[in-house]
Amino acid sequence: MSLRSRLLIALSTTVLGSTAASAALVTVTSYEMNNGNGLTQNGNYNYFDTSYSVPTYANTNGSSLVVPSNGAPKEALLTGGTGKLTDNIIPAQNYSFVPQDYVGWKYQDPTIIFNLEAGKSVSTITLYVASSYAGSLGFMGLVGQPASVDVSITTPGNSTFTPSYTTTFTDYLGDKYNGTEVITLTFDSPIVSSDTFSLTLNRGPLLLDGINYYNNHVAGYGCDAAGCFLDNVNDFKNSAYIPNLEPWILLSEVQFTAAVPEPSTWAMMIIGFAGLGFGMYRRNARRVPATA
């Protein structure tokens, strides 16, 4: 085999290994959060984490409950398991058609704490949320994408720090009409996966649907039959209109992407270059003339 062929093979191996590592997701071993809200908060659906894998919860006053996951009370603490947020299901249509794919919170900036598999480095976090597009056009729903996501990291030694990162917002699959927004958090320096990742989703500004709801059913009109099913007017005024925040956040999926290169990629590079060097040595050795 020629030197050029060996070089191409070595470089191809390195590039392919690096590409695979760049697309690799880091496994979430568990996440902790308060369960979502739903019909009892005047929503049209229950946005509970019905697939959460651990059926034992502590409710808001600290007592223990053992119930099926889809029977967990609103805002009950979910801990030690995984569920909807890591099931690799990303909806490509408006949340009203697939409410079962979301966990949703009303009048809250939810915090979710993630534990990951060890031995990795995390370069990006990607969140898939219900977008603000429909609400911005005035279509009633009172659902908006987070305006920002705060990240806090806790090390195994229990020290906490805020990493440096950039945030980008894009339409899922490049289509603003499918109802899903992608929020990507890219760290300036990779974070080791043995750390604990705490994400807080901050509600975005009140959209046209919320302003219309306030004007039609709150400001001087009281609560008529068309509006009462959506909310208690005082709750809406104090928790949405006055602070200028859209009531609902709906989250479908959270993914952690491994940094590049991973240790396995370095190993492939070393093996590739070692093979290249050995091939060059063999080739040169054959060209040395024998001496008497």
**pLDDT tens, position by position, 160-213:** 999 999 999 999 999 999 999 999 999 999 999 999 999 999 999 999 999 998
Nearest to 74 by CA among 109, 103, 101: 103
> In which region does residue 22 sit, left (phi positive, over 0), alpha (psi from -120 to 50) or beta (all else)?
alpha
Predicted confidence at residue 283, as pLDDT, reads 61
> Average pLDDT of 11-38?
72
Give me the helix-helix angle, 3-22 and 263-287, nearest 10°.
Answer: 180
Other beta carbons within 10 Å of 33: 22
**Phi/psi class of residue 216: alpha, beta or left (left: φ > 0; alpha: ψ in -120 to 50)?**
alpha
Q: pLDDT at position 53, please?
A: 84
Q: Domain segments of the chain: what residues?
A: 25-271
What is the pLDDT, as a whole number, of residue 247? 94
For residues 196 and 153, what is the distance between their CA atoms, to the nearest angstrom? 6
Residue 63's region, left for phi above 0, alpha for psi from -120 to 50, else beta, is beta
pLDDT in tens, 35-74: 888 877 777 888 988 888 876 554 444 444 444 444 555 6
| CA distances to 6, 83, 146, 285, 287 from 290, in Å | 26, 70, 75, 10, 9
More confident residue, 282 or 152: 152
What is d(CA 109, CA 158) in angstroms, rounded to the nearest whole number?
Answer: 24
Q: Which tens digits make up the pLDDT trace of 78-116?
A: 889 999 999 999 999 999 999 999 999 999 999 999 999
CATH of 25-271 among 2.60.120.1190, 3.40.50.300, 2.60.120.1440, 3.30.1640.10: 2.60.120.1190
For 209-238, the pLDDT digits (tens) are 999 988 877 775 555 444 454 456 668 888
Give 169's contacts (C-beta < 8 A, 6+ positions apart).
145, 181, 182, 183, 184
> Which contacts qualify for 38-41: CB closer than 8 Å, 24 or more apart?
38/74, 38/104, 40/74, 41/74, 41/106, 41/107
Instruction: Please state the rounded mean pLDDT for residues 128-155.
Output: 95
pLDDT recorded at residue 69: 47
Distance CA 37, CA 10 (A): 54
- State yes or no: cis peptide before 110, omega within 30 of 0: no
Question: What is the model's pLDDT at position 140?
Answer: 82
Out of 29-43, 117-131, 134-148, least confident range: 29-43
Write out the DSSP string of 154-176: E-TTS-EE---EEEEEEEGGG-G
pLDDT beyond 90 at 129? yes
